[in-house]
Amino acid sequence: MPWHRILDAQSEVRLGPLQIGTTKRGIGPAYADKAARLGIRVQDLLDRSILREKVDAALSLKNEQLERIYDQPPLAVEPILADLDRHAVRLEPYIADTARLLDDALRAGRPVLFEGAQGTLLDLDHGTYPFVTSSNPVAGGACTGAGVGPTRISSVIGVAKAYLTRVGSGPFPSEADPERGRQLRDLGAEFGTITGRERRCGWLDLVGLRYAARVNGMTELVLTKLDVLSTFERIPVCTGYRLRDGSVTDDFPPHQSDFHHATAVSEDLPGWGTDISGITRYAGLPGEARAYISWIEERLDLPVTMVGVGQRRDQILTPA
């Protein structure tokens, strides 16, 4: 809703140096309204009287926030309703009981694929709070979001880059030095899809990836963008975290203060020093590249079933 975007941007300004680094698209305030039971639902678009009632109720509170807290002008209800009417015309053919549609498909033996967005460490409950999104992008979120019970999930495919990136603020133990960070960003075209912001770049973090595998119950792993690492003679991989007391752990710290002050303990692996983007068979990868993948499999106790060596669909290799 229009007030969500305004409140998102203004709250970031208000936080100053403590700001989270949101996209300012209104996602957080929208989820806050959902939890506060003030949210406008898609089904509300189909009933004009309910829609007006809900928008009026929301605006009575939101306009007070906009004016008194953020010194912003109030929003009028009629332009908002007119805009929602236009959306309703376009969306109505696609509004359905999707949980029932999925159940019918599963009962008929049809394959169903849920695609997650963002990543484990951005999960509201299991991520690096408060530097997280407002939803649950872990695999379990597919059940609550789609209305499908957990016993219907037969496999969980993790997807990870061969290195690591982060958008916005927050701890990043395996972040690369500025020069190599720029190299990774330029080679991997690491810019935010929505905002165009430069992503922070670093090395693969096995502590975080092992944690992600556990939280999601991964059954296999897809490793993407392996080609981006081709230019590096040595490739660091984070294998543990050194905590404030000097101890080293290979488990993800349960306390946020430990993670925020953790530094990476890394192991350097040999690079392969040649462009692999044109390779069409897994066996054709340089031995060092295959060793890098095997080493990850062993450390995670998880099979890597696909490897990406470029952006196109025909640049995905399978070990089998």
The pLDDT score that the predictor gives to residue 183 is 96
Q: Are 220 and 157 in contact (CB under 8 A)?
A: yes
> Could you tell me the pTM of the whole model?
0.87
The pLDDT score that the predictor gives to residue 263 is 96
Per residue, what are the HEC states of the chain? Answer: CHHHHHHHHHHHHHHHHHCCCCCCCCHHHHHHHHHCCCCCCHHHHHCHHHHHHHHHHHHHHHHHHHHHHCCCCCCCHHHHHHHHHHHHHHHHHHCCCHHHHHHHHHHCCCCCCCCCCCCHHHCCCCCCCCCCCCCCCCCCHHHHHHCCCHHHCCCCEEEEECCEEECCCCCCCCECCHHHHHHHHHHHCCECCCCCCECEEECCEHHHHHHHHHHHCCCEEEEECHHHHHHCCEEEEEEEEECCCCCEECCCCCCHHHHHCCEEEEEEEECCCCCCCCCCCHHHCCHHHHHHHHHHHHHHCCCEEEEECCCCHHHEECCC
The pLDDT score that the predictor gives to residue 105 is 97
Joined together, the tokens standing for residue 176 give 């690369």
Q: Which CATH class is domain 2-95?
A: mainly alpha
Instruction: List, by residue range, all CATH 1.10.300.10 domains of the chain.
Output: 2-95
| Cα–Cα nearest to 210, from 201, 224, 199, 221 | 221
Q: CA-CA-CA-CA torsion for 213, 291, 243, 190, nearest 10 degrees?
A: -70
The pLDDT score that the predictor gives to residue 24 is 80
Instruction: List, by residue range, all CATH 3.90.170.10 domains of the chain.
Output: 155-317
Place of tokens 């990870």: 160
Rounded-to-integer distance, Cα 158 and Cα 260, Å: 25
Q: Are 163 and 201 in contact (CB under 8 A)?
A: yes
Handedness of CA 75, 78, 82, 85 (dihedral sign): positive
For the chain, 320 residues long, the average pLDDT of each consecutive 10-residue run is 93 72 84 93 93 95 93 95 95 95 97 92 91 92 95 96 87 94 95 82 97 97 97 96 95 91 96 96 97 97 97 92
Rounded-to-integer distance, Cα 72 and Cα 74, Å: 7
Instruction: Give the tens place of pLDDT for each residue, 299-309.
Output: 999 999 999 99
The pLDDT score that the predictor gives to residue 21 is 67
The pLDDT score that the predictor gives to residue 20 is 65
The pLDDT score that the predictor gives to residue 101 is 97
In this structure, which CATH number among 3.40.50.460, 3.90.170.10, 3.40.50.2300, 3.40.1000.10 belongs to the domain 155-317?
A: 3.90.170.10
